[in-house]
Amino acid sequence: MFFSLFGKKKKKEEATEELDSIENNGFPFNDTEDKKEEKRDFPFDSNSTRSNLSDLSSGTSSDDKGGILNRPLSSGTNTGSSILKNRNSTVKPQSAGTTPRPVFGQAAGANRPPLNTTAARPAATAAASSTAQTEAAKRLAEVRARLAAAGKSTASATPRPDPKTSSRDPDKVPLKSRPVLGENKDVSDVQYRRFSSFIEEKCGIVLGNTKQYLVNSRLSTLLDKFHMATVDDIINAAMEEKPNNVIQDAVIDAMTTNETLWFRDTYPYLALQNIILPELAAKGKDYPVKIWSAACSSGQEPYSIAIVIQEQLTHMVHVDPNKAHIVGTDLSPEMLAHCKAGLYDAHALSRGLSPERKSKYFRRTRNPNMMQIDPKIKRMVEFRPLNLLGSFALMGKYDVIFCRNVLIYFSNDIKAQILKKLTMCLNPGGYLILGSTESLTGVAEKYEMMRCNPGIIYKLKPQKF
């Protein structure tokens, strides 16, 4: 076992050294093979040159298969003798009276014309260079295969563009700036504990001690986008306190749950239609109805509320849509941009939206897979950024507040703080609608619980001062 492991380690080191050599010095052309190829292309060997020098200036030959021997030497062209002398300094003039020896492939005594080596040499050199490049490419492929087997990435062996002239487009960022991903990209235990405190401080999400899998799955999707090697690296970048930290924003976006759908759980919208809106309409035709959708994600909730208000126009007593003001807030700038655009793909439209509502309240776009919310619905909703851990002082007062399926991610203390601030934003007799698994932590005595069968909504009791 020891020798087996040692052998694998040695092979990996050898392959790595060879790959580094290729990166630093370019393709290692085989000089020996180059010389052999060049020698084969040149029709004289070192032993025959001495016996054939005397024939170069006057002989003729019928064995000119290459078409390059039928041209006489000009007065300014080097003779075969001078070329060979430059190639091999040991060549000596042929002594008088010596019988010339035949060249390979040519009968003894055959007359041969002088060789136009100035035409033959470039072709020979090109062929040798092409062969050497092919061999080098084969060697590089073999090294990559050996390194892949040894568990090391070979991405760094790819030719790299100049980083000074390369685009900032992520698809065109120089490979030099793209790190090789480590074998273990997952968050470490120490980093997980640091990140848990950080994310709770920033957006109130409590991860606990066993959510490493959640951090890994959500943050690993950002590694390629920001050219990071591990989850630990992207956490370090996100925790840097600096202005406009886009990595921090992306990490918070990834960790906050953006799961939503149209008319989610149904009963809150039935309660709005059958209980809340008729009560508000009874206050007067000109009464401005204000509804807040907190943590609205990609906008399905506030737009669903607006659709319900439009649909109750057929009722005898109804709220005037032009007097209704709906505000949607969320922590994520990306989600808010999505909400304001009002564009939804086929998958989003298939979740909770009936075909009748889809055809009535959505318009087709140039993209056959996307539809846009009707302008009259879109005008009813305003979107703002808001962190539920921050101040609500600028939010004003509302008749109805939807804060659904978000408090479950906070600690009990933070839940109580958020619910107290929401309560202060309700008009007297206003309604608070929470998720089906959420409760009135710390403020239960201030609300009247109303059962809707199914579901529960909460009505603010008259306050005693």
| 3-state class (DSSP) for residue 266 | coil
Domain range for 450 is: 267-460
Between residues 270 and 80, which one has the greater pLDDT?
270
In the chain, what percentage of residues exceed pLDDT 90? 37
Tell me, yes or no, if the pTM score tops 0.85: no
Together in a domain, 250 and 271: no
CA distance 253 to 201: 15
What band does 134 get if pLDDT is binned at 50, 70 and 90? confident
Number of domains comprising the chain: 2
Q: What is the pLDDT of residue 243?
A: 84
Q: What is the mean pLDDT of the chain?
A: 75
Residues 237 and 359 in one domain: no
What is the distance between the alpha carbons of residues 345 and 361, in angstroms, rounded to a whole number? 14
Long-range contacts of 101-104 (CB under 8 A, 24+ apart): 101/47, 101/48, 101/51, 101/52, 102/48, 103/43, 103/44, 103/48, 103/52, 104/43, 104/45, 104/48
Mark which of 255, 275, 298 sits at the end of a domain.
255
Average pLDDT estimate for 45-67 = 44
Confidence of residue 208 (pLDDT cuts 50, 70, 90): confident
343 has a pLDDT exceeding 80? yes
Shared domain check, 371 and 286 = yes
| Residue-wise burial string across 213-230, b where 16 or more C-beta atoms lie within 10 A, e elsewhere | eebeebbbebbeeeebeb
Question: Among 26-40, 168-182, 282-296, which stretch is predicted with the lowest mean pLDDT?
Answer: 168-182
pLDDT at res. 298: 92
What is the C-alpha radius of gyration for the chain, rounded to an integer number of angstroms?
Answer: 40
Task: Indicate whether 209 and 321 sit together in one domain.
Answer: no
Q: Give the chain's largest Cα–Cα span.
A: 135
Per-residue pLDDT at 383 exceeds 70: yes
Q: Are residues 368 and 417 in the same domain?
A: yes
CATH number at residue 222: 1.10.155
pLDDT of 55 over the 90 cut:
no
The CATH number of whichever domain residue 279 belongs to comes to: 3.40.50.150
pLDDT, tens digit, for every residue of 405-448? 999 888 889 999 999 999 999 999 999 999 988 999 999 999 99
Q: Tell me: the pLDDT tens digits for 351-360?
A: 999 999 999 9
Q: For residue 440, list its beta bridge partners.
A: none
Question: Does the pLDDT value for residue 177 go beyond 60?
Answer: no
Confidence (pLDDT) at 135: 75
How confident is residue 207, by pLDDT bands cut at 50, 70 and 90?
confident
Same domain, 240 and 271: no
